[in-house]
C-alpha cells in the first residue's frame, strides 16, 4: 500500500501543496483533480522518485511495483506486438500470454496488420498508445495515469474505461474528462488551495463538500469580523474608564486568542462568450457528394452530403486516423476536395480552431499581440479583456508565446477566435489541455452561441451535452446520423463494441440442449435472479445509511459553528469527533458499495447472457 505523510512542495513563492497525507490501498481507484498548475503531475513525479519533495515521506512496501505512462518513448523490440508483450510479467509455468497483449492493443485501436509494424514507424499518437498498452500489461501494484485519454479516440476511451473498471490493483488517475474519471474511480482526491484531501465517491461529491466548507468558512469569517469590530469599538470607547478595565482587558485577551480567518482568494475560471456575427438566413453551408483522400486508391471520405443550418451542433466522431481532422480542414477551405463541393453561404464568417494551428502562433509575440492580430480594430482595453477571459489577466498577457505550455497556447487560440465576430465555429479538439472546470466553461459558451458549430471531440460528456447531429467515421465508412450522441449509442453503436459483445456472448455460460437445457436454464435464471436481488438489497441499505449520514453532517457542522461562536470547548470536541466518525463511516460504506456494485455488474452480465441465449 502506498502511504504519503506530510508531503509539501513549492516552487519559489508558489506553494503547490503542504502537509499532504493519504493512503492508496489495493483495489482503490482514485481520481486526482485540481486546476491546471496546482501540482497534480508534480505529485506523480514525487511518488515516482523523479522529483524531490520539500518535506514529508512517500512509503511503499518492498517489491511494490508502480506503473507509469512515461513521456519519453523508448522501444526495444522490432514489432508492436513484441513491444507490448515484453511488458507482461513472466509466468513460472511458462504460459504464453501474448493473447493479453493482442486484446489490449486491439482495445486501444490497433489493427492486426499493425501488430507486425515497427514501433518507430507509428505516428506519435500511436506510439503513445503503445506505451499505454505496455503500462497496462505490466502487472503493477499501482498505476499512475496522467491524461491517458490524450491521443485516444472515443472508441478506445470507452474500451479503456471498461478495462480500468476491472483493474484489481490500485490506481491514481488524472484526466480532464470528468465522466471518464467518475465512471472509473472509487475515490476522488483534490489539490485545492494548497491542501490535498481525499474522500470516497466522485468529483461532484468532493467539490460539493469543498464548496460547503468554503461557504461555512466565509460565513464564519464575516461573523468573526463583525464581532471583532464590535470588540474593538468597545475597547476604544471604554479603555480610559476604570470601571470597565476588567471588561476591556477581557476583550483584548479574547481578540489575541482568536485566530483571524483570512478571506479566501478568488479562483479564476475560463469565462468567455463567442462574439457573434449576424446571419439572416437558415442554411449556412452545404456539403454535397464530398470525397477526399491523400492517396488515390484510399479515400478517407466518399460521397458525404449534409447541410449546416443556423443553430446546428454537429459532432464529428470516430476512431483516430479515419478523417475527422481532414473533414474540418475541407470545411475550413484549407484542403480542396477530390470531388464534390463545400459551399458556404455568402455571409458566413467562420472561426477555425485546428489541432495544428498552435504551431502557427508566432513565438516572438506576446499573448496580447497574438490576440490583437485576429482583429486589429480592437482597442487595447478590449484585447486585454479578451486575454483575461482566457485566463491571461494582468501581466500574464505580456508573456511570450515561446514560454507558454501546450494548454496555454490552446487558450491563446481560443482568445483569437473570440476576438473576431463569427457565426460558424469549426472546432477540432478544442478541450485538449483544458482542466475540468475549463471544459465546463467551454460547454456553456458553445451552448450560448447562436450560430452553428461543427466539433471534433473525444469527450463523451461534451458530445452528449452539445451534439444534435453526428458525422460518424466507423467501419471504413462515413455516414450522417440525425440525432444526439446517446441516441447513436442506443440505436447504432460502435462496430468495435458490437464485435466485442459477440465475443463476450460466445464465451458466456451456456446450458445444455433439449428438455434438460430448459430445466437447467430455468435453474440458472432463478439462482442468478436471487443473487442479484440480494446484492441490490444490500446496496440499497448502504445507500440509505450513506444518505442518513450525509444529512447529519451538515447539521453537526452548523452546530459546530454555533459552538465555536460561544467558545464551548466540550461541544466543539464532541461535534468534531462525531463528524469525523461519520465521514470515516461514509468512506467505508462507499468502499463496500463499490465492491458490491462490481459483483452486481458481473452477475447481471451473466444473467443477461443466459436470458439472451434462447432455447425456450
380-393 average pLDDT score: 84
Distance CA 479, CA 306 (A): 10
80-94 average pLDDT score: 83
Least confidently predicted of 455-464, 520-529, 531-540, 594-603? 520-529
Residue 187: predicted pLDDT: 92
Q: What is the CA radius of gyration of the chain?
A: 29
Supply the CATH classification number for the domain 514-611.
1.10.287.1490
Confidence of residue 263 (pLDDT cuts 50, 70, 90): low
Find all residues with CB under 8 Å of 55, minimum gap 6, and list them. 6, 7, 8
Distance CA 299, CA 50 (A): 46
Find all residues with CB under 8 Å of 54, minimum gap 6, and list them. 8, 9, 10
Q: Using an 8 Å Cβ cutoff, are 388 and 324 in contact? A: no
560-569 average pLDDT score: 78
End-to-end CA distance of the chain: 50
Supply the CATH classification number for the domain 1-65+142-155+168-201.
3.40.50.300
Instruction: Inform me whether the pLDDT recorded for 609 exceeds 80.
Output: no
Residue 269: predicted pLDDT: 58
Residue 255: predicted pLDDT: 67
118-128 average pLDDT score: 84
Distance CA 269, CA 437 (A): 7
Residue 608: predicted pLDDT: 55
Look up residue 103 and give its three cell numbers: 486484446
Tens-place pLDDT, residues 309-332: 999 999 999 888 788 989 999 999
Residue 317: predicted pLDDT: 92
Instruction: Inform me whether the pLDDT recorded for 175 exceeds 50.
Output: yes
Residue 614: predicted pLDDT: 45
Distance CA 378, CA 419 (A): 8
Helix axes 245-257, 203-238, angle to 10 degrees: 150
444-465 average pLDDT score: 90
H helix runs in 240-374, sequence order: 245-257, 324-332, 367-374
Residue 606: predicted pLDDT: 59
Candidates 300, 322, 473, 344; CA nearest to 481 is: 473
Distance CA 458, CA 302 (A): 23
Distance CA 257, CA 309 (A): 66
Residue 375: predicted pLDDT: 86
Identical fold for domains 283-500 and 514-611, yes or no, is no
Rounded to two decimals, the pTM is 0.66
149-177 average pLDDT score: 87
Instruction: Inform me whether the pLDDT recorded for 504 exceeds 70.
Output: no
**What residue spans define the domains of the chain?**
1-65+142-155+168-201, 73-139, 209-257, 283-500, 514-611
Q: Reduced to 3 DSSP states, what percent helix, strand and coil does the chain have, rounded to the nearest 5? A: 50, 20, 30
Confidence of residue 480 (pLDDT cuts 50, 70, 90): very high
Residue 503: predicted pLDDT: 45
Residue 208: predicted pLDDT: 81
- Give me the CATH topology for the region 283-500: Rossmann fold (3.40.50)
Tens-place pLDDT, residues 327-360: 999 999 989 999 999 999 988 998 888 766 666 7
Tens-place pLDDT, residues 29-65: 999 998 877 888 899 999 988 899 999 999 988 889 9
- Give ∠ CA 535-537-540 in degrees, rounded to 5: 110
Amino acid at each position: 500500500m502506498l502511504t504519503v505523510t506530510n508531503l509539501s512542495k513549492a516552487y519559489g513563492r508558489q506553494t503547490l501543496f503542504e502537509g499532504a497525507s493519504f493512503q492508496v490501498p489495493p483495489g482503490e481507484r482514485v481520481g486526482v483533480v485540481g486546476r491546471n498548475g496546482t501540482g497534480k503531475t508534480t505529485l506523480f513525479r514525487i511518488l515516482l522518485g523523479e522529483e524531490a519533495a520539500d518535506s514529508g515521506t512517500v512509503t511503499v512496501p518492498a517489491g511494490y511495483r508502480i506503473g507509469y505512462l512515461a513521456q519519453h518513448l523508448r522501444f526495444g523490440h522490432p514489432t508492436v506486438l513484441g513491444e507490448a508483450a515484453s511488458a507482461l510479467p513472466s509466468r513460472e509455468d511458462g504460459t504464453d500470454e501474448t493473447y493479453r497483449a493482442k486484446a489490449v492493443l486491439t482495445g486501444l485501436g490497433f489493427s492486426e496488420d499493425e501488430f507486425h509494424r515497427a514501433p518507430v514507424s507509428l505516428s506519435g499518437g500511436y506510439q503513445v498508445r503503445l506505451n499505454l498498452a505496455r503500462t497496462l500489461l505490466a502487472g503493477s501494484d499501482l498505476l499512475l495515469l496522467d491524461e491517458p485519454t490524450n491521443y485516444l479516440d472515443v472508441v478506445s476511451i470507452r474500451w479503456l474505461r471498461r478495462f480500468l473498471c476491472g483493474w484489481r490493483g490500485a490506481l491514481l488517475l488524472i484526466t480532464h474528462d470528468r465522466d471518464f474519471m467518475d465512471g472509473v474511480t472509487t475515490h476522488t482526491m483534490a489539490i485545492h488551495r494548497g491542501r490535498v484531501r481525499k474522500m470516497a465517491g466522485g468529483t461532484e461529491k468532493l467539490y460539493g463538500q469543498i464548496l460547503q466548507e468554503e461557504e461555512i468558512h466565509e460565513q464564519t469569517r464575516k461573523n468573526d469580523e463583525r464581532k471583532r469590530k464590535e470588540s474593538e469599538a468597545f475597547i476604544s470607547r471604554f479603555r480610559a474608564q476604570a470601571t470597565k478595565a476588567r471588561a476591556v482587558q477581557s476583550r483584548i485577551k479574547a481578540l489575541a486568542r482568536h485566530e483571524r480567518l483570512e478571506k479566501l482568494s478568488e479562483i479564476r475560471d475560463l469565462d468567455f462568450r463567442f462574439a457573434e456575427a449576424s446571419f439572416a438566413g437558415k442554411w449556412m453551408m452545404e456539403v454535397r457528394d464530398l470525397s477526399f483522400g491523400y492517396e488515390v486508391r484510399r479515400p478517407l471520405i466518399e460521397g458525404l452530403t449534409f447541410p449546416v443550418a443556423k443553430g446546428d451542433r454537429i459532432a464529428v466522431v470516430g476512431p483516430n486516423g479515419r478523417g475527422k481532422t481532414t473533414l474540418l480542414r475541407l470545411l475550413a477551405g484549407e484542403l480542396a476536395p477530390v470531388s464534390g463541393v463545400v459551399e458556404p453561404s455568402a455571409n458566413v464568417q467562420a472561426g477555425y480552431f485546428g489541432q495544428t494551428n498552435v504551431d502557427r502562433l508566432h513565438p516572438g509575440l506576446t499573448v496580447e499581440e497574438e490576440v490583437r492580430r485576429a482583429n486589429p480594430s480592437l482597442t487595447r482595453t478590449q484585447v486585454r479583456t479578451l486575454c483575461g477571459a482566457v485566463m491571461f489577466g494582468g501581466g500574464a498577457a505580456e508573456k511570450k508565446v515561446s514560454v507558454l505550455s501546450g494548454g496555454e497556447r490552446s487558450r491563446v487560440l481560443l482568445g483569437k477566435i473570440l476576438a473576431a465576430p463569427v457565426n460558424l465555429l469549426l472546432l477540432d479538439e478544442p478541450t485538449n489541455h483544458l482542466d475540468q472546470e475549463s471544459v465546463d466553461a467551454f460547454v456553456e459558451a458553445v451552448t450560448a452561441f447562436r450560430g452553428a458549430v461543427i466539433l471534433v471531440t473525444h469527450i463523451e460528456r461534451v458530445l452528449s451535452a452539445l451534439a444534435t447531429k453526428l458525422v460518424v467515421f466507423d467501419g471504413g465508412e462515413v455516414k450522417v446520423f440525425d440525432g444526439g450522441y446517446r441516441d447513436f449509442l442506443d440505436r447504432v453503436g460502435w462496430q468495435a463494441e458490437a464485435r466485442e459483445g459477440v465475443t463476450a456472448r460466445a464465451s458466456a455460460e451456456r446450458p445444455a440442449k433439449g428438455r434438460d437445457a430448459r430445466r437447467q436454464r430455468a435453474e440458472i435464471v432463478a439462482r442468478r435472479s436471487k443473487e442479484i436481488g440480494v446484492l441490490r438489497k444490500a446496496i440499497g441499505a448502504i445507500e440509505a445509511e450513506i444518505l442518513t449520514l450525509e444529512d447529519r453532517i451538515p447539521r453537526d457542522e452548523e452546530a459546530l459553528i454555533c459552538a465555536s461562536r460561544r467558545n464551548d470547548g466540550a461541544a466543539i470536541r464532541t461535534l468534531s469527533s462525531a463528524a469525523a466518525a461519520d465521514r470515516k463511516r461514509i468512506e467505508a460504506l462507499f468502499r463496500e458499495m463499490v465492491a458490491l456494485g462490481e459483483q452486481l455488474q458481473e452477475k447481471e452480465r451473466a444473467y443477461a447472457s443466459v436470458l439472451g441465449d434462447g432455447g425456450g
